[in-house]
Structure 1
């Protein structure tokens, strides 16, 4: 049985999926969780704190690279998640104007896991040598940008760009593998 805090986060995530951040109100989160409209305030200072906790939980649950030493399945999982949950994707990687220790820690953990996967790829000879931080930024930028373009209708296998995000990620990894040889 989920804790009250988890029930609130589940309700907030459902509302986010249904209508984006604007659909998430503390009152509706409490109602959706089957609690009083004041219950969220016992766990979250305000809506921004609630959304930061949702984003932190997404990063924690979706620490794609932590499960893989090969970037291809890690990036495939990332692209699949982002396309399936666009509001979560935009929330997690959007601009934050509030400090959240949980979100900062989750972002640091996810970044470190991704960097470990890049380093493993370099050590295996699947990725070119060089600064792994910069290479991680390149790979992440292509994956993120491809997803963002697809969600905006500017990239599709049967339309603009003639590729979907996974195709472009695969292309990049093949180019990097060739450069490493």
Structure 2
């Protein structure tokens, strides 16, 4: 796949994204024994990323369709995506090494009546289009409504990206 002329790192900087560093402190401390990513060939499979800062403060905890609005859910999904970019950096050293977003699995905590999980998930996947461009940034996606996520998060993202072969 071809990449846009401007690199992903430059795009992320231009967009003003504040991508967290998951090396210090290490990813996963609040969630038990978990690693941030697994590499299999050119695929990087990231663990779950949620809308919380490195200090553990959650953005819009709760349930879509009850105490979290669609706009807040999209904002939370967007933050989870930016956090996932931190996981990509941890795995690859640079966003510029991503050749494609393969799949985004999006979990949305919601009431049984809430049917806009796909719109919430777009808050996350739009970030990847902005950073990696349309061809590399649009991958497969599933948006799944669930009853509960750890620590009261309203959204969680599992991301798989393809990377160049440079090590």
Higher RCO (C-alpha 8 Å, min separation 6): 2
The structure with more helix, counted as a fraction of residues: 1
TM over 0.5: no
Larger strand proportion of the pair: 2
TM-score by length of 2: 0.29
Tell me the TM-score normalized by structure 1: 0.28
